[in-house]
Amino acid sequence: MSNRRRCGGFSLIEVLMAVGTLAIGMIFIGGTFLVAIHLSGVSAEQTTAAVVANEAFAKIRIFGVEMADPNLAVDQQRPFPDQVKPLFSLRPVNPDEFAYPSTRTLSQKQYFWSALCRLDPNDPLRTLQVTVFVSRKVGAGALYEGPAGPIDRPVAMPVGVSFVAVDSVGRAVLAIEAGKERWISPGYKMVEDSTGEIYRVVDNGSGSNEILLDSAKPWPWAGSRVVWVVPPPMGRGKGPCIEVYQGEVRF
C-alpha cells in the first residue's frame, strides 16, 4: 500500500486575521514614531529658544538701559528698545540684533526675540525685570502686528482682557478685547502688564472671545487688565511664540 501524505495549511480566514493583526500593530508603531519625531522637534526648538533668550539678556546688558528713563516704571511693562532707550546706542538698534542665528542675513533668520522691561520693585534704582519672548517665523513673507503697523517679525504686543468667572475646576475665564480674539489661543503664554506674572492659556471658554487659564496660577484681578502676547501671523498661521523667559538685569 502506498503511504499518503496529508499536507495541512492555513485557511483564508486565518490569513486575513493574521494580516489584520499585523497591520494594526504597524499602525501603532508608525504612530509612535510620529509622536517621537514631534517631541524631538519640540525639544530641539526649546533648546534653541533657551540659547536665543540667553543672547537676548546678554545684548540688553551690552546695550545698557538708562535707569532714570521716565518711561520705566515698577508697575508697567515697556518694550525694549521702542520705549526703553539703550544707554550706549546713539542710533536706532539694527533689527538684525533681534534675530537668530547671527551668521545669516535677516531674510533667512527663523528665530526672533522681543523684550519687556520694568523696574524691579526690590531694587528700582539698579535692577530691571526683563521678560523675553522667543518666537519662530514661518514663511519669508509673513507679516505680524507691530506697534505702528504690520512688521516682518513677531513681537510682543499688548491686548486687553477682562475677568468673567471661575469655572468648576478653578480655572479663570477671561474675555479678550474685541477685534483681537485671534491674538490669544490655547497653548499661549501671556504676561500681565503691571506685575510681569506669566500665565498659560489651556483652553477656549464657552464664548467666542473667551479663554481659560491654567488653574495652577490663580488670576487675582477683577475687571479689566492688559496682558502681553505674541500675536499670530496676520490672516493665517498659529502662534509663533516658543517660550517666555524672565530674569533680572542689573546695571
| 88-126 pLDDT tens trace | 766 678 888 899 876 666 566 789 999 999 999 999 999
**Quick one: which H or E segment has residue 159?**
strand 157-166
Q: Both 108 and 47 in a single domain? A: yes
Q: Both 31 and 140 in a single domain? A: yes
Q: Both 104 and 198 in a single domain? A: no
Q: Both 138 and 45 in a single domain? A: yes
Question: Is 126 inside any structural domain?
Answer: yes
Question: Is 1 inside any structural domain?
Answer: no
Q: State which residues form the domain around 103.
A: 12-152+238-251
Angle at 71 between CA 182 and CA 220, to 5 degrees: 50
Question: Is 6 inside any structural domain?
Answer: no
Whether 194 shows a pLDDT value over 90: the answer reads: yes
Q: What percent of the chain has pLDDT over 90?
A: 60
Ranges 37-46, 48-57, 165-174, 224-233: which has the least confidence: 37-46
CA distance 233 to 106: 18
Q: What percent of the chain has pLDDT over 70?
A: 87
Q: Both 90 and 59 in a single domain? A: yes
Q: Both 223 and 247 in a single domain? A: no
Q: Both 184 and 212 in a single domain? A: yes
Per-residue cell: 182: 485671534
Do residues 110 and 98 make contact, with C-beta atoms less than 8 angstroms apart? no
pTM of the full predicted structure?
0.83
Q: φ and ψ at 171, to 5 degrees?
A: -90, 135
The reported pLDDT for the residue numbered 1 is 47
CA distance 207 to 173: 10
Q: Both 73 and 161 in a single domain? A: no
Average pLDDT, rounded, for the chain: 87
Number of structural domains (the chain) is 2
Q: Both 83 and 129 in a single domain? A: yes
Q: Both 193 and 106 in a single domain? A: no
Question: Is 3 inside any structural domain?
Answer: no
